[in-house]
Amino acid sequence: MKTIQETAETFEVSTRTLRYYEEIGLLEPDRSSGNQRKYSKADETRLKLILRGKKYGFSLDEIREMVLLFDEDRSGKKQLERTIEYGEARVREIEASIKEFQALKQEMEDLLEGFKQKLKEEKE
Amino acid sequence: MKTIQETAETFEVSTRTLRYYEEIGLLEPDRSSGNQRKYSKADETRLKLILRGKKYGFSLDEIREMVLLFDEDRSGKKQLERTIEYGEARVREIEASIKEFQALKQEMEDLLEGFKQKLKEEKE
DNA sequence: TTTAACATTGACGTTTACGTAAAGTTCAAT
DNA sequence: ATTGAACTTTACGTAAACGTCAATGTTAAA
């Protein structure tokens, strides 16, 4: 169980950020007898997910939806089906993103090839 | 040459957004005799780049750096070398992103597989 | 047990990326 | 020439995601 400071350092975020994530319902660490936050391994895993989501441009609102969906009680049949459907839609989005990134990479490489050619010509 | 309205509709952004991008130096369309903005094909290409950048979580500040770097006069040897170096670094970042996305996809697929299994068991 | 470091909850401030309304100007069509 | 739609700048407003005090409570070590 880490303190808020330790957790913040581990993930390179501010303590304010951790408190804010709790404020908007993204995290809910246990408290010590004196009401201080205690971050468990599960909290860390969740935080990791949140930060990855952020890295790829998802809003905290969207992230909450995902995190909660995968975190809630998935026992009911309807719930499971909904989760699977949602998850598969997300996977398709990710696939599309990968393709776009690959195209972008190709584009940049082509552009750079042109620059290199130009540089070469300039040297001669 | 498109008007601001036409351009906004084409790219599904507001006219305010286009004016704002100009305000912060991301776009600089020509003006008509009466001072109205006229967007050229080059402006559209640039806007496309900006929107793609946004989609992947880059701030407009970061986007400006990229756009301007690839847009300035690349004539000097030093300039060219710097551009190539910068570009290659960006390509490496993109490669890393692709790998992370692929990992994320795998993770989600595994998770979904688990859910599907659970659903199957429940049916029996 | 006291003290320094760290924690808590407000609450107001800041930046980014626009939204929106006002007041006036230009354009295209009649 | 007129008029309505679209354009202009100016400027204040807003939501998200925190930053930054301030006042107070907790913890761990000496």
Q: Please report the DSSP string for A7-76 in residue order.
A: HHHHHT--HHHHHHHHHTTS---EE-TTS-EEB-HHHHHHHHHHHHHHHTT--HHHHHHHHHHHHS---S
Q: Which CATH number fits domain B1-58: 1.10.1660.10, 3.40.50.300, 1.20.120.80, 3.40.640.10?
A: 1.10.1660.10
Q: Is any atom of nucleic acid chain D found less than 7 Å from the CB of residue A61?
A: yes
More confident residue, A40 or B80: A40
| pLDDT confidence tier of residue A21, bands split at 50, 70 and 90 | very high
Strand C: which nucleotides have any atom within 7 A of a protein Cβ? 6-9, 16-20, 25-27
pLDDT band with cut points at 50, 70 and 90 for residue B6: very high
Spatial distance from the CA of B16 to the C1' of C20 (Å): 10
CATH class of A1-60: mainly alpha
SS3 of B32, please? coil
* Tokens (6 digits) for A109: 């490489």
Selecting from B52, B70, B94 the residue whose C-beta is nearest the C-beta of A111 gives: B70
User: pLDDT tens, B53-100?
Assistant: 898 788 999 999 888 877 766 778 888 888 889 889 889 988 988 998
Q: Which of B121, B101, B113 shows the shortest CA–CA distance to A83?
A: B113
Q: What is the DSSP letter of A124?
A: -
Q: What is the DSSP letter of A2?
A: B
pLDDT in tens, B88-110: 988 998 898 899 889 888 988 99
Going from N- to C-terminal start, the domains of chain B cover 1-58, 73-124
Residue B30 zone, left/alpha/beta (φ > 0; ψ -120 to 50; rest): beta
B14 touches strand C (CB under 7 A): yes
- Which of the 52-111 residues on chain A come under 7 Å of nucleic strand C at their beta carbon? none
Q: Which amino acid is at B71?
A: D
**CA-CA distance, A37 to A32, in Å (whole number)?**
6
* pLDDT the model gives residue B97: 87
Q: Judge whether residue A6 contacts strand C, using its CB and a 7 Å cut-off.
A: yes
Q: Model confidence over A46-98: pLDDT tens digits?
A: 999 899 889 877 889 988 988 877 776 667 888 888 888 888 988 998 898 89
| Nucleic acid strand D within 7 Å of A33 CB | yes
Q: Which among B81, B88, B105 is the nearest to A94, CB-wise? A: B105
Tell me the shortest Cα–Cα distance from A120 to chain B, in angstroms: 10
